[in-house]
Amino acid sequence: MTELFNFFQQNIQMIYIVILMVFVGIEIIGHVPAVLHTPLMSGANAIHGVVIIGAILVMLHMDPDNMLGLAIGFIAVILGTLNVVGGFVVTDRMLDMFKPKK
């Protein structure tokens, strides 16, 4: 129990951010027209690729002799990049077609 309280105390700022971000997310998405739902889903999909930062952090901290660890980290960075780059590029491609017509 004390551990739980400590956790709250140490992370209180992050907990605030989580709660505020939940509302920000709801507010932003609530007003997006259905026309843009597909690019929105794909754009949001690219943003959660931010998990790649975790994969990079793991690599930076990894013991250089831990070959298995490095290999898994290597794969994780590739997959994370796929998510980020692919997501943003394909969203851009879709939105390019929404250009106003003459």
Partner 1 sequence: METAVLDILYLLASVGFIVGLKMLGSPKTARNGNFYSAIGMTLAILGTIFIYPKIAHLRVPTFVYGLIFTAILIGSIIGWSIAKKVEMTKMPELVSFFNGMGGATAALIGLMEFAHNIGHSSKMSMIVAGLVIGSISFAGSMIAWAKLNGRLRKPIRLPKYNILNTLLALVLVLLGVYIVWAQVSNPVFIYTLFALALIYGVLFVLPIGGADMPVVISLLNSFTGLAAAFGGFLYGNMAMLTGGILVGSAGTILTVAMTKAMNRSLSAVVFGAFGEGSSAAGTSSTKIKGNIKEAGPSDAAILLNYANKVIIVPGYGLAVAQAQHVLHELEELLSKKGIDVKYAIHPVAGRMPGHMNVLLAEANVDYDKLVDMEDINNEFANTDVVLVVGANDVVNPAAHNDPSSPIYGMPVLDVENAKNIIVNKRSMKPGYAGIENELFYNPKTSMLFGDAKSALTKVVQELKGL
Please report, as residue ranges, which positions from 41 to 100 form the binding site for partner 1 (by CB under 8 A).
Answer: 41-62, 64, 69-70, 72-98, 100
CB of 100 to partner 1, least distance (A): 7
Tell me the one-letter amino acid at 37. Answer: H
Q: Does 26 bind partner 1 (CB under 8 A)?
A: yes
| 12 is a contact residue toward partner 1 (CB under 8 A) | no
Q: How many residues bind partner 1 (CB under 8 A)?
A: 81
34 binds partner 1 (CB under 8 A): yes
Q: How far apart are CA 41 and CA 49, in angstroms?
A: 13
What beta strand segments (E) does the chain contain?
none
Q: If binding is defined by CB under 8 A, does position 2 make contact with partner 1?
A: no
CA distances (Å), origin 42, targets 68, 81, 88: 32, 15, 8
CB of 1 to partner 1, least distance (A): 12
Contacts of 66 (CB under 8 A, 6+ apart): none
